[in-house]
Amino acid sequence: MSSFDHNPFQRLSAGSTLGRAFALFVKRYDLFLLIGAILCIPIVLMMTTMFKLIGSSAAAAAAAMNQAQGGGYSDVNTDNSNLASTSAGQFPLPVVANMGGFIGQFLAEYVFLVIVSIAGKAAMCFAVAQLYIKEEPRWLNSLKQGFSRWCDLFGTGLLVALGLAVCHLFTFGVFYAILQLSTKLVPLVFILQICYIVFLIFVSVSLMIMVPVIIVEQKGPVDTIKRCWELANGQRCFIFCTVFCLAIISWILQILLAKLFIAVHPDGPAAPATHSFLYSLLSVLPSLVFMPLMTITETVVYFNIRVEREGLNHETLEGELGGVATATKVSTFDPDQKYNDGPSGGYSDNVAAAAVV
């Protein structure tokens, strides 16, 4: 029996945290892969649309250039206008005519991505919480709970995005003002940029457990940000060494797969444009595993922090999840089960001993 099966509410090191995240993923890989696949759909669609736009614009520009160089054409004025627009760094006329359709499709896919990604991450977080209290998560119920908290998740993300936008504008304004004083201050601006990047990483790490806070503790946007900051105090190194490092590994793997596809494809660098769907699908493939792993790790990190600081246990977590978790409890009797469903629905360490007596 693993430590998670015996007592999941234990403080873990960074390495043990990643190990538990992988173990939970393997335990319910069917659920996490299904939700991960749903999350990948809008990403693949957006990447396909983007590469199609790039490919069509490049093809139209090449055709205009070939005709202008003596490829034979019948309408001089039209081809000259295409050449002029291409030389000026603008999209050729055939692409401009389809630009509205591309933009509309891209925006629709982006809205779809926002809706699905928020609900999907929340659903996986809820599933992990159910596993912690010995419940059997179901993907449909998990998605239902994810959508039920969608407004709070979106509102928190929007609030954070607006705050960062204000910081960006202020910071770039300061950089611009310094450069206007003297070009000799470029090294100072470079140092300030590095400091600003460190600040952004600091903020990102502090808010990394935002989804579990909303799902488990049912908090609103402002309270969620305060709660994340409170829990992250003294734990940022731990969060960085788990969630952030896992994100870096995922990013590196995606780049390697994309480079490999271009290297082995006959079209070479043009492959993303000529086979946009296949390239997008291959690029997103690692996300099928890493997106669930990221969410699982965030949730495990959140529970670890609360176990250390607040003594989080089975009864407390079940009470916070409320009747939602109880409604999805598996009612099938298992004689080999190591826990009971007594008045508190909690884990019993004395079941085996009682059976012996």
| Domain range for 289 | 8-330+341-356
> Residue written as tokens 């693993």?
2
What confidence tier does 182 reach under pLDDT thresholds 50, 70, 90?
confident
Residue 140 placed within a domain: yes
Q: How far apart are CA 100 and CA 98, in angstroms?
A: 6
pLDDT at 165 over 80: yes
Give domain status of residue 3, yes or no.
no
Question: Tokens 């000799």 label which residue?
Answer: 184
Q: For residue range 267-318, list pLDDT tens digits in order.
A: 777 666 666 677 777 777 888 888 899 999 999 999 999 999 999 999 999 8
> Of the spans 11-25, 157-171, 318-332, which averages the highest pLDDT?
157-171
Contacts of 166 by beta carbon, 8 Å cutoff, 6+ apart: none
Amino acid at residue number 317: L
The residue length of the chain stands at 357
Could you read off the pLDDT of 219-239 as tens digits, one per residue? 999 999 999 999 999 999 999
The neighbour count for residue 181, using CB atoms within 10 Å, is: 9
Beta-carbon contacts of residue 158 (< 8 Å; ≥ 6 apart)? 221
For residue 182, the number of C-alpha atoms closer than 13 Å in the C-beta half-sphere is 4
**What does the buried/exposed string (b/e) look like for 74-93 if buried means 16 or more CB atoms within 10 Å of the residue's CB?**
eeeeebeebbebbeeeebbe
Residue 339 confidence (pLDDT): 40
In a domain, 190, yes or no: yes
Q: Is 335 inside any structural domain?
A: no
Q: Does residue 221 sit within a domain?
A: yes
Asked if 130 and 31 touch (Cβ cutoff 8 Å), the reply is no
> 336 in a domain, yes or no?
no
Give the relative orientation of helices 93-132 and 150-181 as an angle to the nearest 10 degrees.
120
- Per-position b or e across 113-148, b if 16+ CB within 10 A of its CB: beebbbbbbbbbbbbbbbbbbbbebebebbbebbbe
Tell me whether residue 274 is in a domain.
yes
Nearest residue to 57 via CA among 105, 97, 109 = 97
C-alpha to C-alpha distance for 310 and 304, rounded to whole angstroms: 10
Q: Are 10 and 308 in contact (CB under 8 A)?
A: no
Using a 10 angstrom Cβ sphere, with 0-12 exposed, 13-18 middle and 19 or more buried, the burial of residue 272 is: buried
Alpha-carbon distance of 59 to 98, in angstroms, equals 14
Count other Cβ atoms within 10 Å, centred on residue 291: 23
pLDDT for the residue 267: 72
Q: Identify the pLDDT of residue 83.
A: 43
pLDDT of 335: 40
Cα within 13 Å of Cα(175), Cβ side: 16
* Calpha distance 79→59 (Å, rounded): 14
Contacts for 157-160: CB closer than 8 Å, 24+ residues apart: 157/118, 157/210, 158/221, 159/221, 159/222, 159/225, 160/207, 160/210, 160/225
Q: Percent of the chain at pLDDT above 70?
A: 73
Backbone angles phi and psi of 322, in degrees to 5: 75, -155
**pLDDT for 357 beyond 70:** no
Report how far residue 246's alpha carbon sits from residue 293's, in angstroms, rounded to the nearest whole number: 8
Dihedral of alpha carbons 224, 230, 236, 239, sign: negative
Mean residue pLDDT of the chain comes to 78
Ranges of H-type helices in 28-149: 29-66, 76-87, 93-132, 139-148
- Cα dist from 136 to 1, 27, 139, 277, whole Å: 18, 11, 10, 36
Q: Tell me what the mean pLDDT of segment 253-269 comes to.
A: 78
- Dump pLDDT digits (tens) for 64-81: 566 656 554 445 444 444
Total domain count for the chain?
Answer: 1
Cα 182 to chain centroid, rounded? 41
> Rounded CA gap, 351 and 357, in Å?
10
Whether residue 256 is contained in a domain is answered as yes
**Residue among 14, 36, 15 at smallest CA distance from 25:** 36
